[in-house]
Amino acid sequence: MFGVWCFFCGCSSPCTQRFDRPFAFQRDTFSYPNDLVWEYQFDDVAGKTSHRTKEPPPDYTHHCFVVARSARQFFQHARFDPSQPVSDDRSYRELIRRVVGRDPMRCTSDDKRIVIPGYANLRGFSIAKETLLKEECGGAWRSYFQRGHWRIMVPFTRGNQQREAERLLASLHRNRPPVVHLTRVPQLTINHAILIFDAKATQNEIQFIAYDPFDPSNPATLTFDLATRTFRFPRNPYFIGGKVNVYEVYRSWSR
């Protein structure tokens, strides 16, 4: 990771604040997905996407920003202690509220983290307490009314996207997993949030490894092409694949 960060270190602003460990996919993510309302069909010739309503309708959708943000808040503000006995749902509900009520911009020292008793990590906790977490982490409206969304009104330039890639690498160097918004505005082909937790550099590109709330089983990859200074996201069940514009949310005053 340090070598990847050094690739852009001349352009990034260094920060002495580091989280005590990197984000780990198998322990720091939720076990359940943020599901899709629609089933998508892709026309590669025309480059168009169509959809139809899923049947039966899923019960947890439109929460991608909520899930990505909450994963980061648990990473920064909670500490799991499996040596303590399992508590009751009322107590866990209050603990969840306290975690997601903390500022996603700030980190918490280990002695001030909120202790989640009876479980080793968020993945195990979310298997046991899925309903509680879905109810307390926030409603779907938070994915739409997120004050950082003003950014989509400003044109995305190639220079801007290069600077965004540099900032993402600098955050990863501090073990700070950034949450980013993927958009094609004015096109509506993608409007999604993922959490980036690692990066790998080659001669031609940087591969940002991410937690996609849609798929808790495997990491996703967001690629930044160095020559064109363009982010690309691969095809998946909700996106035909191709160029996306990227900006970080829950960062500074833009969150």
Q: What pLDDT, on a 0 to 100 scale, did the predictor assign at position 254?
A: 43
Confidence category of residue 2, pLDDT binned at 50, 70, 90? very low
Mean pLDDT to the nearest integer, 41-65: 82
Place of tokens 């648990």: 74
Confidence of residue 76 (pLDDT cuts 50, 70, 90): very high
What pLDDT, on the 0 to 100 scale, is given for residue 172?
A: 96
Local structure of residue 156 (DSSP, 8 states): P
**Nearest Cα to Cα of residue 100 among 116, 88, 111:** 116
Rounded mean pLDDT, 224-247: 96
Q: What angle do the packed helices 89-100 and 64-77 form, to 10 degrees?
A: 100
- Least reliable range by pLDDT among 9-18, 133-142, 237-246: 9-18
Closest CA to 119 of 87, 89, 94: 87
Confidence at 195, pLDDT banded by 50, 70, 90: very high
One-letter identity of residue 25: F
